[in-house]
Amino acid sequence: MKDNTILTNLYTPITLEPHQLSVTLSDAHHPIFQAHFPNNPLLPGFVLLDMSAQLLHVKIKRIQKAKFLKPILPKTTLFFDVTCNEKKVKITVKNSNEKVAELIYETE
């Protein structure tokens, strides 16, 4: 899978197990956070989707659900609980104490 340059240096992997992933995001100086938004940096939803696909080494074919529940800030540690069956991926994303997103997508 080709690297997504927009994600370069955005996160540092901590745990990369088949059903449990965790990463720590970079600080607010990363270009993603500078663009979204300069005075109130938040991780864009599409970037969270791209990040999950990159971590799982899959390509998203069709998004079935992308529910963003809480803002994701720089330097946050994110925990991905992953369930995969055939070509469908279900992910619950949490920060240290609450659910921040739910993702369901089909892969190629």
Tell me, what CATH number does 61's domain have? 3.10.129.10
Provide the domain limits for residue 18. 5-107
pLDDT digits (tens, 9 = 90+) for 22-74: 999 999 999 999 888 888 999 999 999 999 999 999 999 999 999 999 999 99
pTM (predicted TM-score): 0.92
Q: List, as own/partner pairs, every contact residues 25-34 make where C-beta atoms lie below 8 angstroms and the sequence separation is at least 24, other chains included.
A: 25/72, 25/73, 25/74, 25/75, 25/76, 25/77, 25/78, 26/74, 26/75, 27/74, 27/75, 28/74, 28/75, 30/74, 31/6, 32/6, 33/74
Q: Count structural domains, the chain.
A: 1
SS3 58: coil
State the average pLDDT over residues 87-103. Answer: 97
For the cut 60, the answer to whether the pLDDT of residue 1 exceeds it is no
